[in-house]
Structures are given as structure tokens and as C-alpha cells.
Amino acid sequence: MQVKRYEASNVQEAMEKIRTDLGDDAVVLSTKRLRRGKTTFIEVTAARDLPVKACSREENRDRTPASGREEIRAEIDEIRKIAESLRGENPFRAQMSELKEMMSSLFDLVGSLREETGLSAVYRRLVSGGMSRERAYGLVKETPCGRGGNRPEDYEKALRSVEESIGRSIAVPRDRIDPDRVVVFIGPTGVGKTTTLAKVAARYAIDFKKKVGLITTDTYRIAAAEQIRTYAKIMGLPLEIATEKESYRKALAKFSDKDCILVDTPGRSHLDSRHLKKIAEILAADTPARAHLLLSLTSSTRNLLEAADRYSTINYDSIIFTKLDETRSFGAMFDVVAQSEKPVSYLTTGQNVPKDIERANPDRIAKLIVGHGMN
């Protein structure tokens, strides 16, 4: 099978290009409207020599499970091998993104080949909920209902099975009752670090009756220091400001009588590696600390994965997903957890301090991901 991408100003023009290039048997796999500068254009991915196209619906049903699907799997494996071999080689970045596109189209194609089973509907549901095609395909492929029929109960069975498998793959920190002594909140700009720190501080101080101290390393903006100072005042908690390693050490020493010390860090782009290095330096004190990486679900799956990857240089311990109330796409949580292999500690669900925070629960996260909503 040959898969190719075409750009054109309209569908008609794209079809002509495809027909001329791939012939009358070509099959359109996907179409997208894209923008480059001020001009919009469409991108069409097409293929030829597809067994699906050559068959009638009846014939297709006969040959899809065996020959068609196997052939496409072989194609996917082949493309994956090429992609692996190109990883890290900068001159091939363009080809890499093209290969990724092709793989995505193929995953969709495999999904549509299974049109007669509940699984393709589950696959589409996961992808439309923000999960990457590759992860959605991996989950669907593993489900034991792989040869399910098209009755509603088959769909429900497949959905339940996928939900369980997501639930099993999400870990939460073991220490549920005793808070860690030093807890650091890191993450990209505006994800909710300071707000979440205030929610957690209230929980520890009020619910667990712990002696809590706050440290901020965020002195970049006056407003940032004011924000945490206000929270500290309202809750009656002491606050120390630390701008580098030495003042951080001193602040920790001042809080030697505290059960729990919460540390706020400034928000900066995760692409700013000097900033990441600075946080890592400050945190490299002798006192061990648990670092939560905060990621807002209002970002795209791709951005979340990139941020999780960039912050891995700080060796964070767990993830807090924020702003669940601002989205209906929860699938990225599965991608991030699968890529980072980190547990999820909390979910935050609104701006209300201290109310809008909950301990992460794998079953609840799995339910959100398969699309059973926030409640």
C-alpha cells in the first residue's frame, strides 16, 4: 500500500492531484483544513491498493479481519521501525512528522476496518476525548473483546474493558494520610501552582491539623509574591521568600518545627531551560522534597507531553492535573501518565480555595477518560 499527502486550495484540486498521481483506485484517508500565514488550504492523505476499496461490503466483511487488517498492521510496524531509526536525527524532522501523520491515518484506517465491531466506536470515542491515536489504538488492540460484534452490549463491554485497563495503568502515591514534609509545586506558567498550593496548605493545616510553613521562590513578579502572601495571611501561615539555594536552605531551617513545608515556584515557559536549571539547583538541598508537576488540561495533548518531558530534568515525583472544570477532553491524562510513568496525586476542579481539589483516584480518572463526564 502506498500512502501520500497532498496540499491543495480546494477539495476538487486535491482530488485531481490524487487521481493523476495514484489513479482511480485511490482512497482518501483523511482531510484537514489548515492555515499557513493568511492562506488556508486543505491537506488530504490518500492511499492506493487498499483491499477495502476493492471489495464490496459483503466481501469486505469476509476479508477485513484476516488479510486487510494484517496488511495494515504490517504497514504500521514498518513505519514505526523507520520512525524509530530516524529518532533524534535533526535533518529528518520533516520526514518524522510526515511519518507520524501517516501512522495517524493508518490508526484511523484500522479503526474504520473494524467498523462492524464495538471497538472502532470505542477507539473513536477515546480519540475524540483527546487521547493520541497511538495510545487509543494500543488500548483497543489489547482489549479481550477484540472480535466483538456490533450490538450495543458489545460496545458497552469493550468500553468497560478499556476503562478497567486505563484504571489499572494509573498509579497514585502510596502515602495517603501523612503529608510529605517538603512539597514543591512546579509547572508551566499559569497552570495553578500557587492556587493549588493554597488548597493543599488548607487541607494539611485545617483537615490534618499539621503545622504548615510556606516558601515562595517566585519573586519574578510583584503580583506573584502578593498572591501567596494573601493566602498565607488568610490561613494564618508563615511565609518565607527564597531566591536561591542559600536562602532556600535558611527558610527550611527556620521551619524546622513544621510538619509540612509547601514551596511555590515561578511559572516560566518549559522551553526556558535556564529556568528549569535554576529550580533544580534550588531544590537540590539536603532536605528531600516531593515535587508535584502541575499540568493544566486546557493545554493540547502535545503541549502536555512536551512539558512533562521537559520537566523530567527536575525529576518530579508525581503529577497534578488542573482545570478539569474547563475542559471535556480528559484523554491526554492517559498519554501523559503512560509517557512519564509517574503517579497522579491530585486533580483540581475550579478556582475555589480550598474546595476545588480532590485526591487522584484511578477509577475516577479512567471514567473521565472514557467519557463518563465530570460527575
Ligand X SMILES: Nc1nc2c(ncn2[C@@H]2O[C@H](COP(=O)(O)OP(=O)(O)OP(=O)(O)O)[C@@H](O)[C@H]2O)c(=O)[nH]1
Asked if 235 touches ligand X (CB under 6 A), the answer is no
Which residue number, 231 or 255, has a Cβ lying nearer to Mg ion?
231
Helices and strands counted in the chain (H then E)? 15, 11
What's the closest the beta carbon of residue 350 comes to ligand X, in angstroms? 5
Q: Which stretch binds ligand X (CB under 6 A): 12-20, 100-108, 186-194, 230-238?
A: 186-194
> What would you measure as the largest C-alpha separation in the chain, in angstroms?
78
Cell numbers given for 118: 464495538
The yes or no reply on residue 194 touching ligand X (CB under 6 A) is yes
Q: How far apart are CA 32 and CA 353, in angstroms?
A: 41
Per CB under 6 A, which region of 32-40, 108-116, 136-144, 183-191 contacts ligand X? 183-191
Q: Which of 135, 157, 193, 367 is the binder for ligand X (CB under 6 A)?
A: 193
Nearer CB in complex with Mg ion: 157/193: 193
Partner from Mg ion, ligand X, none binding residue 190, C-beta < 5-8 Å depending on class: ligand X
- Strands 27-36 vs 344-348: parallel, antiparallel or unpaired: unpaired
Adjacency order of strands within the sheet including 39-48:
2-8, 39-48, 27-36
CB closer to Mg ion out of 104 and 195 = 195
DSSP-derived pairing of the beta strands 182-186 and 2-8: unpaired
Q: Is 217 in the site for ligand X (CB under 6 A)?
A: no
Rule CB under 6 A: is residue 326 a binding residue for ligand X? yes
Amino acid at 198: A
Q: Is 117 in the site for Mg ion (CB under 5 A)?
A: no
**Binding flag, residue 191, ligand X (CB under 6 A):** yes
Q: Does 356 bind ligand X (CB under 6 A)?
A: yes
- Give yes or no for a cis peptide into 152 (omega within 30° of 0): no
Alpha carbon of 374 to those of 117, 157, 327, 343: distances in Å? Answer: 27, 21, 10, 20
Is residue 2 a contact residue for ligand X (CB under 6 A)? no
Residues 6 or more apart whose Cβ sits within 8 Å of residue 375: none
The region, left, alpha or beta by phi > 0 then psi within -120 to 50, assigned to residue 311 is alpha
Near ligand X by CB under 6 A: residue from 323, 330, 338, 365: 323
Specify the stretch interacting with ligand X by CB under 6 A; choose among 86-94, 161-169, 343-351, 367-375.
343-351
Q: Cβ 213 to Mg ion, closest distance in Å?
A: 17
Residue 354 interacts with ligand X (CB under 6 A)? no
Can you say how many angstroms the Cα of residue 71 is from the centroid of all Cα atoms in its chain?
A: 30
Task: Provide the minimum distance between the beta carbon of 298 and ligand X in the complex, in angstroms, as a whole number.
Answer: 8
Q: Note whether 143 binds ligand X by CB under 6 A.
A: no
Instruction: Report the alpha-carbon distance of residue 31 to residue 17 in Å, rounded.
Output: 14
Rg over CA atoms, the chain: 25
Stretch that binds ligand X, among 141-149, 167-175, 184-192, 244-252 (CB under 6 A): 184-192
Q: Is residue 189 a contact residue for ligand X (CB under 6 A)?
A: yes
Contacts (CB under 5 A) with Mg ion, residues 170-199: 193-194
Residue given cell 482530488 in the structure block? 15
Q: Cell numbers of 110, please?
A: 484500522
Residue nearer to Mg ion on the CB measure, 194 or 345:
194
Q: Count other Cβ atoms within 10 Å, centred on residue 350.
A: 16
Question: Which residues of this chain interact with ligand X, rule CB under 6 A?
Answer: 189-195, 218, 224, 266-267, 322-323, 325-326, 348-351, 356
Question: Which residues of this chain interact with Mg ion, rule CB under 5 A?
Answer: 193-194
